[in-house]
Structure 1
Amino acid sequence: MNKGPNTMLAHLPSSAPDLVVDGRPDTTPDVIDGVAYARLYGEPLFRMPTDLYIPPDALEVFLEAFEGPLDLLLYLIRKQNFNILDIPMAQVTKQYLQYVDQIRLHNLELAAEYLLMAAMLIEIKSRMLLPVRKADTGEEAGDPRAELVRRLLEYEQMKLASQQIDALPQLGRDYVRTQIYIEQNTVTRWPEVDIVDLQAAWADLIKRAKLTAHHMISREELSVREHMTSILRRLQSTKFVEFADLFDPTRGVPVIVVNFVALLELAKETLIEITQAEPFAPIYVRLAYAPS
């Protein structure tokens, strides 16, 4: 809608000449019961302005609005129930050109796109009037309307899809998201721990502790002389002691090793005797015989 130039109206003096409406003088009184019948920009208005301008195209009503040449062409075909696969080009082109002529009177830039489609329709109609010629391969030429029909069908599918999407509820158009602030005091409530959860947490802790465990090697002070004394004291109370009875496996390998070394030292110093009756017979240990 076009708007005319803005007009600043001031308070008109009461001596202004009367207006002429339809060849007769305007008999509207300057003041109606002492009150202006209208206000313009805060100023009282006591008579119709003499320089009021309303452009001829101030109000235009479009019964149908189209989004492009294909939309207009599809509208003309569907409105008259034409078969889109067998379009009567003469009637459709005539109606199309009538609409384009109306557009050219108001908006030449908008009409350019429609004129391109009009030229395409005229070309198709001209090709249909020409005699059909066979191609070099011997096949008959296709229908000149085939490409136009393909474009119309694709456009119609896209238009229907857009209408279905537009029918879906949209935020800001069909509904408004509300936000309500509620001020309340909350008390922290800790969740209750079940015994099963506590057991699982403890098992997980033990599992992680085993993964980070270190093997510590401690050094134990063992004396060969002490073990030599212990062996001599035991042999003093008995004549023969079986070799295996001199060792205590429960005390560990280091003690057994030191005890064996002590036994060898005693044999080396001829303080004890290690005897065996026959091969593979038990080994016995006794004190060494000392002649008087």
Structure 2
Amino acid sequence: MTLPDQTLEQQVPAADLDAAAGLAASGELAVSPEAVAEAAAVTNEVAALARLYGEPLLKLPNDLYIPPDALEIFLDAFEGPLDLLLYLIRKQNFNILDIPMAQLTLQYLKYVDQIRLSNLELAAEYLLMAAMLIEIKSRMLLPQRQTELDAEMDDPRAELVRRLLEYEQIKLAAYDLNAVPQVGRDFIRTQIFIEQSLVTSWPDVTPVDLQQAWLDVMKRAKLVQHHKISREELSVREHMTGILRRLQSSRFVEFADLFDIAGGVPVVVVNFVALLELAKETLVEITQAEPFAPIYVRLAYSPA
């Protein structure tokens, strides 16, 4: 159904058309029937309320039903309460760091009352934000105590301002991302079929390429190596016996002389453990004459 075109260059009244048709029928006016039919069609086109399936509709049908929601017009679509608050702040040129809560809350509640009448589920999150605005407004209206004035109080609007600034930043970033060309929306990737040759062409290999490939194989082979650790059984008791035998032949033995450096770290460690066990069992004595003096080991003195 389309609206009639009201921009005709010339409109002829219906009475004049009927008079012209009568004169043409009596022969007093030389007008062709095609011209009269065309003039009548123009008259119907002007008087038509709408067009239904290409035909002019001169009057409304008696059984015409128009749903109430069919004439609703949404000029602004908001993504949520923060989007609505940001729209109201920018529209009224409010300072987002110093929001007049009374005016903003009043305008916000007017919008919430409108959407509550049509969509109650959508109004739930808006009502939650309305409660938050009313709470902030009430906190700002309450008188402050002297202790609160002495201690610097936080602005009740600080949390709301932080959320609005973060939302505006994300919204602007979303606009920038939407402006980036996208496949399927702004451009389409073309696919071109290229017929390849049936004859296989092999690349030429030079001696330098072969040498480089061999060096890479040798480099990978060096990375894969096996390290075997052999287990050597060392007895602490045997080393304890060896230390006692050595101390029996001499009265004092210097601490460093008790260790066999040529045997390696494991032998030295086990020998030291054996010496500690002997000292623990009070079989040997470890003495030192003065600080930083050599340390000596001897058999423990046992009275006869």
- Superposition TM-score, scaled by structure 1 size: 0.49
Larger Rg over CA atoms: 1
Q: Which has the higher helix share?
A: 2
